[in-house]
Structure 1
Amino acid sequence: MPADSPAFGGETPSRPRASLRTAVVWEVLKDALDRRAKAAGPETGGVLDVLDTGGGSGRFAVPVARLGHRVTVVDPSPNALFALERRAAEAGVADRVRGVQGDAHGLFDVVERGGYDAVLCHGVLEYVDDPAEGIRNAIAALRPAGTLSLLAAGQGGAVLARALAGHFTEARQVLTDPAGHWGAGDPVPRRFTAEQLSGLVTSAGLAVSAVHGVRVFADLVPGVLLDSEPGAVEALLRLEAAAAELPAFHSVATQLHVLAERD
């Protein structure tokens, strides 16, 4: 699979590591949106309304819009929303992407409750004061039949990364801290296990359909290998995809992806 295929979220071959970081989630999300569009019926023309909370500059929103869907991105950063506008224009989907300033806590100050076929909640729960409230708001934005794509930092992956870097005390701190935080210099306030994320989703009323480990190997492989070995990016992508659904690898993934649906 070429590194510039849509499966990589529209990334280019000059950014192979960024492509590897999004590929697994994008494949799962695209399949879920395709299923939801078919289930919505012919009267919709296969077009979904998608909400991307914390969507930033549009890494997922723009590829989703390329599929023909309407995407609303909510993000607290004006700079990120400006970058989103530029990226959407460059991709030729400016008419299908709308950016609004806001956050997960005050989500319904800026978007409609119950107005979306799918909600992306990627990289949000790590930073909100109350993850359970963040999930409840994301789910409340869904229509009676809808899909939630949840992506958050994995606790086990941080333990492994700190240990391999020789920071053994910090690795132990991640392992024992309830928030999965390794210290004052840690830029990520909170990390999760697969069980914690699934529990948040089911407690809020959705059924978990799949859990994936993301960036199981990609963050551990030296960049020089990807640059120097022919076919290394494609081979690593296939390895990531093969490991993503295996529970044994969820505990060492840098990120965890939960797909959940309301039927």
Structure 2
Amino acid sequence: MSRPSASSRTAVVWEVLRGALDQRVKAGGRETLDVLDTGGGTGNFAVPVAELGHRVTVVDPSPNALFGLERRAAEAGVEDRVRGVQGDAHGLFDVVERGGFDVVLCHGVLEYVDDPADGLGNVVAALRPGGGTLSLLAAGLGGAVLGRALAGHFTEARQALTGPEGRWGTGDPMPRRFTAEQLTALVDATGLAVTAVHGVRVFADLVPGALVDTEPDAAEALARLESAASELPAFQAVASQLHVLAEPRYHDR
């Protein structure tokens, strides 16, 4: 069964991220931000961020992904504002400056690193001292459990629900999944304060793509539904992904 397009599935994240970038511009008094995108791949977020006028550094372990990033940035005319470097979260400061970024994106990274707490600690250390925004996106446990159950794989759904990493079996391509509570605890441990949590792909992974493609205005209606549900904890609990925004605890400084 086909799914709705990638753009409709990430619309909530982009909406929240763009608002966070605008807020950081106002808070810092600078129109151009330095943004770090860890695990940014071919630039799904990096290129649109650069199109807003910001400078983006993408760190990714895949040379092929970085080649795709270079091509996408050139096609968008923002190659002068996008830089790709090969690396990962644990060796982050071998390739980028510590404390040098206004905003850090950590999207689809914590699922794959050996130690999520250590990896996130490195990512947060890339933020400018005393001011910066973290955008964290990771696989949600509830969405996987619901998806396996609706597909009739009840044993796999239970295994994902009860297993320590949230995996439904040895064939599961995702190494690790999180609940909202687990993600916010990881962020809290870095010293940042969580400012928002959103559920992503609450419905999009369950809706047949053909329905969205053939019904008039269905894609727009689905996007509005996703946005409306994203801030409600009941729907975050069954989202395929979880998005967390965080900033320094200014009152602790």
- TM-score, normalization: structure 2? 0.96
Unaligned runs of 5+ residues in structure 2 are none
Aligned counterpart, 1:35:
23
Structure 2: distance between partners of 1:39 and 1:154:
31
Aligned counterpart, 2:142:
156
Structure 2: distance between partners of 1:222 and 1:16:
7
Aligned counterpart, 1:192:
178
Q: CA deviation at 1:157?
A: 0.3
**Residue deviations 1:232-258 (CA, integer Å, cap 9, x gap):** 000000000000000111110000000
Q: CA deviation at 1:227?
A: 1.4
Structure 2: distance between partners of 1:80 and 1:107:
17
- From 37, 42, 47, the counterpart of 1:52: 37
**Residue deviations 1:126-175 (CA, integer Å, cap 9, x gap):** 00000001110111000020000000000000000001111111000000
Q: Matches of residues 161-240 of structure 1 in structure 2 within 5 Å?
A: 161-240=147-226
Structure 2: distance between partners of 1:71 and 1:224:
35
Q: Which amino acid aligns with 1:102?
A: G
Equivalent residue pairs, number: 246
- 1:261 maps onto 2:247 in alignment: yes
Aligned counterpart, 1:22:
10
Aligned counterpart, 2:227:
241
Identity of paired residues, percent?
80
Structure 1: distance between partners of 2:65 and 2:137:
19
Q: CA deviation at 1:16?
A: 5.2
**Residue deviations 1:13-47 (CA, integer Å, cap 9, x gap):** xx952111110000000000001011111xx3x00
Structure 1: distance between partners of 2:223 and 2:103:
26
Q: CA deviation at 1:87?
A: 0.1
Contact residue 4 and residue 207 of structure 2 kept, 8 A: no
Structure 1: distance between partners of 2:216 and 2:9:
19
- 1:84 maps onto 2:69 in alignment: yes
Q: Which amino acid aligns with 1:210?
A: A
Q: SS of the residue aligned with 1:136?
A: helix
**Residue deviations 1:188-228 (CA, integer Å, cap 9, x gap):** 00000000000000111000000000000001001111111
Q: SS of the residue aligned with 1:210?
A: strand
Aligned counterpart, 2:54:
69
- TM-score, normalization: structure 1? 0.92
RCO higher in 1 or 2 (8 Å CA, sep ≥ 6)? 2
Structure 1: distance between partners of 2:239 and 2:10:
13
Structure 2: distance between partners of 1:202 and 1:89:
38
Structure 2: distance between partners of 1:24 and 1:118:
18
Aligned counterpart, 2:79:
94
